[in-house]
Structure 1
Amino acid sequence: MTASVLFTLGTRGSPLALEQANETRRLLAEAHGWEIERIALQVIRTSGDRIQDRPLAEAGGKGLFTKEIDAALLAGAIDAAVHSAKDLPSLSPEGVTIAAFLPREDVRDALVSVFADTIEGLPHGATFGAASLRRQAQALRLRPDLRPTLLRGNVETRLKKAEAGAVGATLLALAGLKRLGLSHRARAVLDLDRFLPAPGQGAIAITARSADARALQALEPISDAATSVALAAERAFLAELEGSCRTPIAGLARLEAGRLQLRGEVLRADGSERFDIAAESAPADAEWLGREAGRDLAARLPVGVLVKGG
């Protein structure tokens, strides 16, 4: 860090991560009247970026995208870190807190395929490329004949493989496509009734040191209240289920007519069964709503559906 730098943001190095970091940078500059050049970006390569040959669940879970960034944050090498909210583990490491959520983008999933514009229209036995068990289970629920295959890599890599026909189809977050200016490459946008998103999908989370008053104050003006309320419920729901990369879990909270509406679901990995819940509360009770919905749903799950750990 040089004397001219006012604030340093840590980020992964993928095009989407950098776009999210630059969005944060622009908002900080506008909020404080800082010259944008005085907000530095520090790219940090994570274990999740290095491991591409197996599912995250087999390599250590969601923390693979955050632990090196958390370490840099706790060491004081950066002032704050920018993350896709759905990549954050349910519990933050000691000394790290979520300081802000930026305004949420579109939460829906997008289908990418050269073979069909619906899951139902794919050829019998087509491969379905995904790293997300949630997307895999939701697709298998509609089409049990699909053959899941691992598809890792950044957005452009997965787009190219699907567009080349290397897999029959894949699903990507529409938010990421929009942020990268690539939404035109989606074959279709999927409805929320059948493809409820992962908790946090479409949201950008910014973490900081819990005791760093300067960073927390700097980030406060750019935090979006509606997104923060929704994510409080979704993350509490996920934490109550002890959600991991080994269990397909979906959840979405939204403010509607002054009430916070939460929908959640857990699926068997093969899509053969889905267990869902809907609940609502006052916005001020967002965390309570998520916890209660998680407890209620967990109590109804047959043994073996919820795979803990990872």
Structure 2
Amino acid sequence: MTHYLVGSRASALAKAQVREYLRPLRERFPDVTFTHRVILEGGDQDRTSPVSALSPVSGGSAFSSRQEAALARGEVDVVVHSLKDLPTSNPPGLMLLPPPGREDVADALCGSTLAGLPEGARVGTGAARRKAQLLAVRPDLHVIPIRGNVPPRLRKIETEGLDAVVLAAAGLRRLGLDDAIGEILPLDLFPPSPGQGALGIQVRTDNSAVREILSTAGDLSADAQVRAERAFLAELHGGCSVPVGAYAEPLPGGLLRLTGQVTSLDGTRRVSAHRTGPAAEPEKLGVALAAELIAQGAQVILDAVRAAAAAG
């Protein structure tokens, strides 16, 4: 019997994502055994520092670097990530397979609705993008930095006296926490992190056997969407600490509509645009949209964000 090791982070959400991914594969390949292995990331061990302050090696992510290293060493055969946590380039010898469909891409406000938040409300999020977007819509808000997995962040509404927290709707749904959603935030004002709601299925390029099996689970429409979004982010040289949002939508006739937004950290300035192109050329679409936003002044905003991060 063939046996494959599947790596992921230790959180309840990461484990739920592995179960979601493996369920149809186990039915399709009953002679293949998949064993889950937890890999603890730096971002999981340090729950207090801001994400931007964590320093993974080789420019990687605080939520993916150790998993990628284990995959490269052959300690696991595949890693199931949250795609939004992954850098836009793969380490040498690794590649991404098409994701198996996609959950809700939007952000969710938990504990209240936007209209229901009182003046000066305290809203928790650890993401620069979410903070910037909140302040752009409600400059009166006090945005409180929070870290941790999904259930602990929800509990901070009570334990830290917050009026609300912002979380990815996909994570809440995958954990069966739909009832915690007060409002799905509108995509035109709150475009999500590129790749949000999709799984990042990462394998070694030289492992043709596992690639052949796992490729059967891929969704080509979802793949085109996330490739366009990630190309857009890469062209802007963005990451998890940069307030860049994007989402792609499939259109009839083999087309893809990509929307992108860049917001200043204080929410006082934002530029956004959308562009349509062939779904067969998603990276080209992402690069073109990034150029359009740069022409609108996105680079000035991003340079200010990076200067603020460098100044500490």
TM-score normalised over the length of structure 2: 0.92
Say which is worse superposed, 255-264 or 156-165, in terms of deviation: 156-165
Asked whether 1:59 is paired with 2:54, we answer yes
Are residues 1:289 and 2:299 paired? no
Instruction: Give the alignment of 1:1-310 within 5 angstroms.
Output: 6-34=3-31, 38-60=33-55, 63-113=61-111, 117-164=112-159, 166-258=161-253, 259-301=255-297, 304-306=300-302, 307-308=305-306
Question: For residues 27 and 8 of structure 1, what CA distance do their matches in structure 2 show?
Answer: 16
Deviations 1:113-133 (A, max 9, x none): 2xxx32233122222210111
SS at match of 2:6: strand
Render the CA deviation track for 1:77-131: whole Å, top value 9, x for unaligned: 1000000110011111111110231210111111112xxx322331222222101
Taking only the aligned residue pairs, the percentage that are identical comes to: 38
Distance 1:69 1:302, change over 3 A: closer
Classify the secondary structure of the residue corresponding to 1:119. coil
- Aligned letter for 2:243? P
Letter in 2 for 1:122: L
Shift of 1:245: 2.9
One-letter code aligned to 1:297 = L
Classify the secondary structure of the residue corresponding to 2:26. Answer: helix
Query: CA-to-partner distance for each residue in 1:163-218, whole Å, 9 max, x for gaps?
Result: 55621211111111111111011112222122111111111110001121112111
1:32 positional shift: 2.1
User: Counterpart of 1:11 in structure 2: which amino acid?
Assistant: S
TM-score, length basis structure 1: 0.92
- Which letter does structure 1 place at the counterpart of 2:286? G
In structure 2, C-alpha distance between the alignment counterparts of 1:60 and 1:95, rounded to whole Å: 22
- Kept in 2: contact 1:247–1:268 (CA 8 A): no
Any unmatched runs of 5+ in structure 2? none
Q: Deviations over 1:50-78 (max 9, x none)?
A: 11112111113761111100110011010
State whether residues 120 and 143 of structure 1, in contact with CA within 8 Å, keep that contact through their aligned partners in structure 2.
Answer: no
- Cα distance 1:9–1:123, how it changes in 2: closer, same or farther (>3 A)? same
| Deviation, structure 1 residue 302 | 5.7
| Separation (CA, whole Å) in 1 of partners of 2:235 and 2:158 | 38
Shift of residue 30, structure 1, vs aligned partner: 2.2
Q: Which runs of 5+ in 1 are unaligned?
A: none
Aligned length: 302
Secondary structure of the structure 2 residue equivalent to 1:265: strand
Matches of 1:80 and 1:88 in 2, distance apart? 14
**What is the Cα deviation at residue 156 of structure 1?**
0.5
Residue 279 of structure 1: SS of its match in structure 2?
Answer: strand
Cα contact 1:10–1:80 (8 A) shared by 2 = yes
Q: Which amino acid aligns with 1:300?
A: Q
Q: Which runs of 4+ in 1 moved over 4 A?
A: none
- Please report the RMSD computed on the Cα atoms of aligned residues, expressed in angstroms: 1.8
Q: Tell me the distance in 2 between the aligned counterparts of 1:43 and 1:302.
A: 39
8 Å contact from structure 2 (residues 228, 284) kept in 1: yes
